[in-house]
A = this chain, B = another copy of it.
Amino acid sequence: MSSVPSLRRNLSGDLAQAVVALVEQEGLRPGDPLESLKALAARFDVAVPTMREALRRLEGLGLVDFRHGSGIYVGINAGRRVLANPVQSRPDADQLVELLEARRQIEPSLAMLAAQVRDEAGIALMEESLASAQEQIASGDDALWLTNLDFHRAVAAAGGNSVLVEVLDSIVLVHAEDQREILRLHGDASADYAEHARIAECVRRGDPQAARDAAYTHLDHVVEVIRARRG
């Protein structure tokens, strides 16, 4: 078991840390523009290539975003503590099962917490994604799978703990395309919707035990389908 990685003591790492501190001090959010590469190099008194290397390091983490011909922006992962590794190989079937079993272990606790805390913004997101799903089922919209992922993220948000939201995001967004494939196989959009609605109902009326059970039931169904598929 590896020990805690020591903090990197090198210029590129220190610069990266300084950019993150700058983003935070200025209250910048994902999508906000940063200064130009040149201006950042001048601000931190380093050469442009050194600055670029530090920014590439942050780009790898999704903390900044180079947009060709447009400049540098704050990245989608700014402020997060837990991340899905953005550079990884395609998982095999066993790894996907493991991922979904991990979700089955974690998500019932999140549903339980959601029913205890009932964070308003999180509940609003839950309702929103249920409403979108209903429309998308009716119209046969391909984006249904993303809406369904958003439902799971909204349940985490209703628990009001941002670390748990990030943890859930990391396991929902990792291999999202492959999870989509599973959902396509699982296939029963109406059953999914009913199971989501059941979780939402338990959260709404503040019944932690029932919310947990509903989340178990839902994820059990997903895991069963994959297991069956593998024969």
Contacts and interface: CB of A to CB of B under 8 A. Distances in A.
A43 to B, nearest CB: 17
Interface string A49-69: 100111011111111001010
Q: In the complex, which range does the number of interface residues on chain A fall in?
A: 35 or more
Contact of A56 (B20, B56, B76): B56
Contacts of A2: 30, 76
Contacts of A162: 98
Interface stretch (A171-179, A184-192, A193-201): A171-179
Consensus secondary structure, chain A interface: helix
A154 B2 CA distance: 11
A123 to B, nearest CB: 13
Given A2-B30, A12-B56, A87-B63, A171 B163 contact: yes
B164 A102 contact: yes
A228 interface: no
